Amino acid sequence: MTTINKFSLRTRIFIAMIFIVVIASILIAAVTIYQFNEQAEEYHNRRLERKEEAIKSAITYELERDTINEFETVSLPIILDQKLNEISDIHNLDINIYDLKGELLASSFVDHETDTTDANLSKNIIQHLIINPDHRLVLGKSSNDGAKFKSSYSYLIGTYGSAVGIIGVPYLQDNTFQDKELREFLERLSVVYLLILFIAITMAYFLSKYITKSLENVSRRMRQTTVERTNEKIVLNDASQEIINLVDSYNSMIDQIEDSAVKLAQSERKHAWREMARQVAHEIKNPLTPMRLTVQSLDHEFDPKDPDIKEKMHEFCESMIQQIDIMSSIASAFSNFAQMPNTNKVKLNIVEEVKKSLDIFHESYISYHPQKSEIITKIDKIQLTRIVTNLVTNAIHALQNTEDPYIKVGITEKGREVLIKVEDNGMGIEKADASRIFEPKFTTKSSGMGLGLPMVKNIVEAYNGSITFVSTVNEKTVFSVSLPKE
């Protein structure tokens, strides 16, 4: 049973249907054989009874012709001496005549190869004849050569209505004809069963496929179900009621998932904006504090007559401008991340555009390795620049305190996709940080808001692309961006 449970539902349905057909075939064949045997047995019993009545009628007729009063029993062999064999030949059966004590008086043989004559009847046979209302007993026997026959014993009634002897009629059961009929019938039935089995196998295959098709459809949809995207409902028009109930439950679950996903998204969005606002406020407070101290210091120490007043004012202005630039960069980073990437696709040579993006960097260890000089792609130029500059900037920060640093930027064409790779030999990414590297406001740097890589991921996914990375701590890190060419 455990092994069967490991099979698929389709296989179990198929096996069950074939098993039912085979068992039904065996049962029908068994019932057929039993019925044939019963009919043959009944036929032989009735035939023996008819033969026995005919023989007894013939013997009674002979007794009525030669009546010898009370000495009929003793005179039976004399009376039937000539007629017994004649009667036996007419009915083609052996006839044995016994006296009332069971001793053999006369006998005739049709089949001399099979001796079915009992010299004396047993007391059980005589007792049974006395007790039995119809004074008749049929016993089954087997001859030495294995042939089956029946022996019928009954009283032989004389002229005056009393029993004058016992007649025994051995009857050989010849089932040759019935056996032949049964064999031919079973052969024809076997052909029909084979045809039925073939039809059953075919029907079981298609029926099991039909039954499980809807279940496979539901199973496939369930595997594809996720809260991260819109899930399609299942529509089935020709399924059973049980499958329709299952589909209805699935569709109801989809509605609940959609409602839960909307609520979850709203909750996450509120939480994200709350965290973002807290982070922005924290980042803005950092430059505000030195600005406040600088202004307070200037207000406290300001002296128009001080000969160094111009130099002090210059230092004050530079400090203020520096802090203002920091706040401006924070505001720009937050604005860029908050905006959904509106794509303005234009055909351009991505090899040339990436080179232009790299020109703003003056580090000598940055090298560019395009596969060929021209790869035409439809993409937004500004967003491409954001992708490249953010990946290279992160690579530069990862190279701090690294001997013989390098950054390799490569572009390759792969089918209908363009692959941009940025490789560096910096400090790498720890395994604990790998799963959070694309989360907003997550950063391993001492400064920054952690919005660069999330923004890159947001842009790439808007193009139905993908971004992945492979990193070995203190050896190298490779970021790979795959974008469709159109």
Tell me the Cα Rg of the chain: 55
State residue 183's pLDDT score: 82
How many helices (H) and strands (E) are present in the chain, helices listed first? 12, 12
Domain boundaries, the chain: 2-179, 241-338, 346-484
Q: Residue 223 pLDDT > 80, yes or no?
A: no
Q: Residue 174 pLDDT > 60, yes or no?
A: yes
- pTM recorded for the entire structure: 0.40
Percentage of the chain exceeding pLDDT 70: 70
**DSSP-derived 3-state class of residue 482:** strand
Q: Residue 485 pLDDT > 80, yes or no?
A: yes
294-331 pLDDT per residue, tens: 777 767 776 777 777 777 777 777 767 766 766 676 66
222, 229, 210, 212: which is closest to 251 by C-alpha? 222
Q: What is the dihedral of CA 388, 390, 392, 395, to 10 degrees?
A: -150
Cα 178 to the center of its chain, rounded Å: 50
Least confident stretch, 47-51, 436-440, 449-453: 449-453
Helix (H) or strand (E) holding 114: none
Question: What class is the 346-484 domain?
Answer: alpha beta
Establish whether domains 2-179 and 346-484 are of one fold.
no
Q: What is the mean pLDDT of residues 244-256?
A: 75
Cα 57 to the center of its chain, rounded Å: 76
Name the CATH superfamily, with its identifier, for domain 2-179.
PAS domain (3.30.450.20)
Spatial separation of the C-alpha atoms in residues 214 and 65, rounded to whole Å: 90
